[in-house]
Amino acid sequence: MPYKPHMPDARYLDARSHRRGQAVIMVSVGVTFLMGILGLVVDVGWGYYRKQVAQAAADSAVMAAMAATGTGTIACGVGGVVCRPDGISCSSASGGTNLKTGCQ
């Protein structure tokens, strides 16, 4: 019997030709979506970092200004430091915090 190369059914070729570029489109949409999410994560992270840096700079500036206006220490009524009249309960302060150190 002579050799006949395998020829797929014409219906199979017709149905397959309509789906040929579908994977490329799906991969493109997926990569675009992932890049968008990555950009959002980077933007939010950078904003959080800048907020932390700005807060640290503001805290340092306040501490330096308060120390420079008085005797080098920060205490209520000394060097123009004004404390809240209602105060903060020392019983709610946890160990190792600045509030706990100030209560002792």
- pLDDT tens across 64-83, in order? 887 777 665 666 666 666 66
Cβ pair 99, 93 in contact under 8 A: yes
Compute the distance between CA of residue 57 and CA of residue 78 in angstroms, rounded to an integer. 24
Q: Which two tokens stand for residue 20?
A: 């040929």
Q: d(Cα 100, Cα 64) in Å, to the nearest integer?
A: 21
Q: Do the Cβ atoms of 70 and 79 come closer than 8 Å?
A: yes
Task: List all residues 6 or more positions away from 94 whose beta carbon is below 8 Å from its beta carbon.
Answer: 100
pLDDT in tens, 13-68: 655 555 667 888 899 999 999 999 999 999 999 999 999 999 999 988 888 887 77
What are the residue boundaries of the structural domains of the chain, listed by start? 9-69, 74-104
* Whole-number pLDDT of residue 73: 61
For position 66, what pLDDT does the model report? 75
Q: What is the pLDDT, as a whole number, of residue 64?
A: 82
